[in-house]
Structure 1
Amino acid sequence: MQFLASALEQDHPALHQAFRTELQAFSERTRVDMSPMLSNLIVKVCYRFPNIARATVLKRVLVVSDSGRIHAEFLASFLKSLFNGSDFSAIEVTAFDLEEYSAPSFQSSAPQYDILLTTLLPLPNLHLFETVIQIEDLPSRENLNVFSIAIYGGPAASAVKQPVD
């Protein structure tokens, strides 16, 4: 059980810290030190709720396609079907075509997005985004892996392309 709890701690440090904090608060209220049970608790909760290991802070994603709005909406739908489940959401996706992205009014709404996924680089205003990832018209496994790292973090997060304007 220690191995599984350690893996969760490495892959999802914020979730592990939340478990630790809540168990500490429970221990203080009951006046019983429950900290040795942390690994056991984590494994049992993950067994009962398997999707908890996919828990993350909701990321707001903007998809911009140079092939038009219908293609951008296809990409958004494809990504939502892969990264969201019936009982959790990891991403909230908005689709734009190149014309909408290039509109002067766009700059004021850009800060509401965490990640820009685009089929075309370079684009103007990349500095407005925390993370910029170029994807293919039909995302490859490598594209999806880089996107997954941007969502969930982890040791390979430096592989995610940062905006260069």
Structure 2
Amino acid sequence: MKINWGKILDFALETGASIAQVELWLNEKIQELSKDSTVNAALLEISYTVAKMNNDDWNYLKLHLGIKANKNETANFMLKYCNYVVTVENNKVIPLLEGSLNDAFDVIQFDLRSGMDDFEIAALYGVLAAHGERNPKANSLTSAFGRLLNSGY
């Protein structure tokens, strides 16, 4: 089944999450991660939200999620995924944004055609979309990545 990542992101953004509602947001994402029908939307929202966090927000989320992870396998998966998103942001997205737009798109296209899993796509797309709100190159890459995904690559 073809996934429309742009529509998933639009839906995920409608729900939003503020730090004051971390507990509720965590519970919702854990529940969504437990269902096949909502897992991709949850992954995308998680990656987008984590990429937008400052260090204090990230530490707050990580602390609360770490507590939940001790008692819940899905929360533990979410914690690992959040850490993966931070790794994607630091080791993939930031370096892509430092190079040329064409080179960055070639790397994304190569990675996608080499066989990215849905969780990898969600992480990369969500982080790019978050950066795209303040970085024109990231915004262009998000759009190009979305077109590539929608074309079936």
Provide TM-score, normalisation by structure 1.
0.29
Higher helix share: 2
- Higher normalized contact order (CA 8 Å, seq sep 6+, divided by chain length): 2
Provide TM-score, normalisation by structure 2.
0.31
Higher strand share: 1
